[in-house]
Amino acid sequence: MDRTERDHTRPADREDGADSTERADQTGRGDAATLEARALSTTLFHRLAELDEGTADYSYVRNTLVELNLSLVKYAARRFRGRSEPMEDIVQVGTIGLIKAINRFDPERGVEFTTFAMPTISGEIKRFFRDTSWAVKVPRRLQELRIDSAKAHDALEQDLGREPTDAEMAQQLDVTPEEFSEGRKAASAYSARSLDAPVQEDSERDPAAERASLGEEELAYDRIECLESLKPMLAVLPERERELLSLRFGQELTQSEIGARLGLSQMHVSRLLNRTLTRLRGGLLTES
**pLDDT at position 220 over 50:** no
Mean pLDDT of 111-115: 88
Domain contains 284 = yes
pLDDT digits (tens, 9 = 90+) for 63-81: 889 888 888 998 888 888 7
**Residues 65 and 45 sit within 8 Å (Cβ to Cβ):** yes
Whether residue 142 is contained in a domain is answered as no
Structural domain includes residue 25: no
| 105 within some domain | no
Specify the 3-state DSSP secondary structure of 281: helix
3 state SS for 160-183: HCCCCCHHHHHHHHCCCHHHHHHH
User: Above 90 in pLDDT, residue 12?
Assistant: no
User: With bands split at pLDDT 50, 70 and 90, how would you rate the model's confidence at 233?
Assistant: low
How far apart CA 2 and CA 9 sit, in angstroms, is 11
Q: Please tell me the distance from the alpha carbon of residue 152 to that of residue 154, in angstroms, as a whole number.
A: 6
CA 255 to chain CA mean position, Å? 22
Mean pLDDT of 216-227: 40
Q: Is the pLDDT of residue 96 over 50?
A: yes
CA angle 57, 58, 61 (to 5 degrees): 85
Return the pLDDT at 105. 92
Which residues, 6 or more positions from 265, have their beta carbon under 8 angstroms from its beta carbon?
Answer: 259
Cα distances (Å, whole numbers) of residue 27 to 30, 62, 66, 233: 5, 28, 24, 25
Report the pLDDT value the prediction gives residue 102, as an integer from 0 to 100. 93
The whole-model pTM stands at 0.42
Q: Which of these ranges, 3-7, 119-123, 261-265, has the smallest mean pLDDT?
A: 3-7
Convert the pLDDT of each residue in 46-59 to its tens digit.
888 888 888 888 88
Going by the DSSP 8-state scheme, the letter that residue 134 receives in this structure is: B
Q: Which of 29-33, 63-67, 124-128 has the lowest mean pLDDT?
A: 29-33
Task: Please state, in angstroms and rounded to a whole number, the distance separating the CA atoms of residues 140 and 224.
Answer: 34
CB 170 within 8 A of CB 177: yes
Q: Are 183 and 142 in contact (CB under 8 A)?
A: yes
pLDDT digits (tens, 9 = 90+) for 146-175: 778 877 877 787 788 788 888 898 898 888
68's enclosing H/E stretch is helix 56-68
Spatial CA neighbour of 264 closest among 238, 250, 243: 243
Domains held by the chain: number? 1
Q: Is 120 buried (19+), middle (13-18) or exposed (0-12) by CB count in 10 A?
A: buried
Q: Residue 139: which pLDDT band, with cuts at 50, 70 and 90?
A: low
- Confidence class of residue 271 from pLDDT cuts 50, 70 and 90? confident
Task: Answer yes or no: is 275 within a domain.
Answer: yes
The parent domain of residue 280 ranges over 217-288
Q: What pLDDT, on a 0 to 100 scale, did the predictor assign at position 265?
A: 87
The Cα–Cα gap between 154 and 260 comes to: 30
Residue 264 domain flag? yes
- Residue 268 counted as domain residue: yes
For residue 198, count other CB atoms closer than 10 A to its CB: 8
| CATH value at residue 224 | 1.20.140.160
Instruction: Quote the pLDDT of residue 131.
Output: 61
How would residue 22 be classed by pLDDT, with cut points 50, 70 and 90? Answer: very low
Largest pairwise CA distance in the chain: 87
Instruction: Please indicate, yes or no, if residue 267 is contained in any of the structural domains.
Output: yes
